Amino acid sequence: MSEVIAGTRSESKIIRGLRSQLSDHVDWVDVLKTPVKTWIPEECSITIDTEDFECTPIPYSLTSETEGYLVFEENIQPGAGNIVLMRYPENYFATSIRVHEAFRKGVSAVILFEKDEHVTRKIAVTDPPYPSNMPGNPPPIPVVTIDHEVFRALERRLRISGGLKATVKVGAILKDSIGYTLIAGINGSGESEVHVTTHHDHWFQGEGDSIVGLKTLLALAKQWRTVENKVNILLISFTAKELGSPYLSPYHWSWGSKYFLQVMRNKALLENTLYSIVIDSVHVNTPTVYYHPSLYKVVVESLKPGWNAVPGGNHYSLDSLTYLREGIPSMAITTLSNEYSWKIHYSSLDNPINVNSDSIAVELSGFLVKTILASKSEEITVNNLWDYISLDNYPLEFKTIVAKARQAESVIGSRSVLRITTKTFSDCALLRINDHAIFHAGLLSPLLLAEEAGRRIGEEEIFLKLQLCSGRSYSFFFARHNKRFVKETLSKIVDDIVSLLSDEFNYEYNFKLFSTFDRIQGGAGGEAGANRS
């Protein structure tokens, strides 16, 4: 299958096909139109003398024509307007950071490559470069990627000639458009609901990310029709998971799921949602299940041999984070912690030759049937969440939040407390220590990364940055032999993060408390009026 970008004809085609395949196995199918910012690459070339080399634009690069002397990254001359050959960082989520560092040195264009692999890779580059849900911009300079063969050719020319004048030409369209999220329902006999989700937009052929997910939805639909069950199932394929936010947010993932849950929340259609299961980037048969602690019993009873299960876990770049931020427990099934999966993810290697999507879909659908059948609302409790977040090394104010949350169970109910605590304590964040970047998303991510910073403190000079997707940012530069002061600063960062959590929890708790009180008062008023009549 070819590349699918939100808001394009390729997306309309895949939605028609998916709808047709699911229709015979579900009770209903609907499509949610979603406003997206569509980026469409049209042309890309690198010209040296009279020779043209093929390249691929990196989103969200815009139409441009740039001239400069071609250099390797280590040979950048500040302010010279070089076009730089840059190897993808080991953690390619950090590509935006590297591009912006080059831009600050006066680089006029960036050509990305994978030196040791016959592979082309693609990941969005944003401005600003650090993950945030705030509005952003296209990259300040054009960014393109090349395959192994073109890299070798440019490398040979550069080694022989030294100063090579090059022209990088990019053609791309950025426009407002409409994406499509597909929702298919299988009705149960009860009120509870489970969302099983994936996405259909993808780079290159996207066999593991996420054709596997689409095939799993279809396999589950076929199996579920033969099962008697009370739970209602929503099978969802999101648009704009990879990119498409109308605001060009630097955290460019998951716009489709954010919009979907926003619509569902505004229509009060999330109250009966027990949890979500997100299938994304599964390239082998032995995935890891990152699960909300309240889903412990649901997961461990269904886990297959060879699979891993991690409570809390890292939901970075996955739609499970969107559900957590809505307060809905979620589990994410992925293989991104697997070295092989990480290698082929977002690359031309993510294809049917390297990924057996049919076999993986059978494995996943079997797990899903067993998991959902084992789902009982009374077993999805807040108790396991308390065990996960009740850590002795966190400050007193954090323990106060947890104590207040536990006390609130008797006032607004355990399910409401589960939702509020999950929403309050979920975020994504980036920790940068010198040139090393760590990305994390899920429960307590900012606090976990602050702890990680404390473990990595050495005696050398340290640049430290902690960026929260919710907006708060901390940046420091520490001189040598100042380890004690670094720890004191990290302690203050933790205190500030906990203060933010406290404020958000109090807001959500009070809002729920007053909403509950208003409903009780409204119901009482209605009964009194009926008695008077």
pLDDT at 204 over 90: yes
- Tell me the pLDDT tens digit for each residue of 416-470: 999 999 999 999 999 999 889 999 999 999 999 998 988 887 767 788 899 999 9
The full DSSP string for 189-227 is: SSS-EEEEEEE--BSTT-IIIIIHHHHHHHHHHHHHTT-
- Give the per-residue pLDDT at 308: 94
pLDDT at 523 over 80: no
- Tell me the pLDDT tens digit for each residue of 302-335: 999 999 999 988 899 999 999 999 999 999 999 9
Contact 387, 421 (CB under 8 A): no
User: 391 or 511: which carries more pLDDT confidence?
Assistant: 511
Tell me how far apart the alpha carbons of residues 444 and 397 are, in angstroms, rounded to a whole number.
14
Taking residue 12's Cβ as centre, other Cβ atoms within 10 Å add up to: 14
Q: Which domains does the chain have, with CATH numbers?
A: 9-38+175-376 (3.40.630.10), 42-174 (3.50.30.30), 382-505 (no CATH)
Can you give the pTM of this predicted structure? 0.94
* DSSP 3-state of 530: helix
Q: How do 164-186 and 308-311 pair as beta strands?
A: unpaired
Contact 139, 96 (CB under 8 A): yes
